[in-house]
A = this chain, B = another copy of it.
Amino acid sequence: MPTARRTATVTLHDVAREAGVSLATASRALNGSSRTVNDDYRQRVLAAALKLNYTTNLSAQAVAKGSTTSVALLVGDIADPYFSSIAAGVIKGSEDAGLIVTMSVTDRSPERELELVRALRGQRPRVIILAGSRSSDEEHQPDLVRELEAFEAGGGRVVFVSQHELPFDTVRIDNYGGARALAESLVELGYTRFAAITGEAALITATDRLAGFTDGLAAHGIEIPADKIVPGGFTRDGGFAGAVELADRGLDGVELVFAVNDVVAIGAMSGLRSRGIEPGRDVAVAGFDDIQTVRDVTPALTTVGIPLFEVGESALAVALRPREAGSERDLSVPTSVVLRASTPGVPAR
């Protein structure tokens, strides 16, 4: 009995036979960088491939070539507009470069991130992009670095997005500077009494933003009282809860609440409202990121803009550029303060 075909899939072999040429020729006609194939044969192969509805088996190609066409992207939470915008940029750039992107979510857990990187290495992607917010987790960091270094040793490229201190290429977002500029702008508008809703203490992005903001204020001799800084978990619900806590403790004349990102800020606005405090009238609110929706909440949110889509595109571009010895490993993207109705010119109250 003839062995049943494992799959009904047509292989390069079938195409070659159909076209009446050798395997090698078929391969060259379909891909071969050096166009060393007779145009007559080439046509026959192409026709055969079309007729049989052939598609190259990328896995087999990867094994033979020793390199894949995939890009692995790690994000903290794909449903978060911050990450999905970056992802859109990475995907766009990858498609333009003929690369496929695989996506995993870390849930912002350093442990999960490490696990994923380990598993991803099996994919032998050309690039691993880590966009999940870096945390100052001391426990898993050395292992992560070790995995990534092994990956690079095997010819892969690693790119981080956002701030970090690890020995890899980075698309750096100036969280500190952006927040600091925001603080200064707000002081100029006349605000003098602030509160802040932060992320988890371990998230570097969150701490950098808070540091920038407080330093910006400090430059004008302003300080945020310790009891006016509350955690917000980097999520909408965290922002809501943080604002409620702030309200319940008593605003004590706070004129502006700074949230470490827009999602938190939007949650905070709802939280304030739930306590009868009207954002933009009773108290000003500012966020960070300039995600799409901040234009459509009421009042429109003052924030710090980051070109997120471009960040994603840049991350890929950085990964694809040749690795030169002495080249700068970091690429910085600019941030910009965007003042909107949530911080009216005249301080609330």
Q: Shortest beta-carbon distance, A312 to chain B, in Å?
A: 10
Q: Is A336 an interface residue (CB 8 A)?
A: no
Q: Shortest beta-carbon distance, A204 to chain B, in Å?
A: 24
The answer to whether A100 and B88 touch across the interface, beta carbons within 8 angstroms, is no
Which of A54-62, A132-140, A219-227, A246-254 faces chain B? Answer: A54-62
The answer to whether B293 and A293 touch across the interface, beta carbons within 8 angstroms, is yes
Q: Shortest beta-carbon distance, A287 to chain B, in Å?
A: 12
Q: Which residues of B contact A292 (CB under 8 A)?
A: 79, 236
Closest residue of chain B to A112, judged by CB? B95
Q: Which residues of B contact A62 (CB under 8 A)?
A: 59
Q: Can you list 20 A-B contacts with CB-CB less than 8 angstroms, sorted by A residue number? A: A8-B154, A9-B124, A9-B154, A53-B150, A56-B122, A58-B122, A58-B124, A59-B63, A60-B63, A78-B78, A78-B88, A78-B91, A79-B81, A88-B105, A91-B104, A101-B103, A103-B103, A266-B296, A270-B295, A293-B293
Q: Is A77 an interface residue (CB 8 A)?
A: yes
- Within 177-196 of A, Cβ neighbours of B (below 8 Å) are at none
The answer to whether A63 and B57 touch across the interface, beta carbons within 8 angstroms, is yes
Complex Cα gap A293–B91 (Å): 24
Q: Which residues of B contact A100 (CB under 8 A)?
A: 102, 104, 123
Q: Is A164 an interface residue (CB 8 A)?
A: no
Closest residue of chain B to A60, judged by CB? B63
Contact of A266 (CB < 8 Å), options: B87, B121, B269, B293: B293
Complex Cα gap A169–B261 (Å): 40
Q: Mark A60-97, 1 if CB is under 8 A from B, else 0.
A: 10110010101000000111010011011001100100
Q: Is A51 an interface residue (CB 8 A)?
A: no
Closest residue of chain B to A107, judged by CB? B92
Complex Cα gap A298–B154 (Å): 52
Q: Which residues of B contact A309 (CB under 8 A)?
A: 79
Q: Shortest beta-carbon distance, A300 to chain B, in Å?
A: 9
Q: Is A118 an interface residue (CB 8 A)?
A: yes
Closest residue of chain B to A77, judged by CB? B88
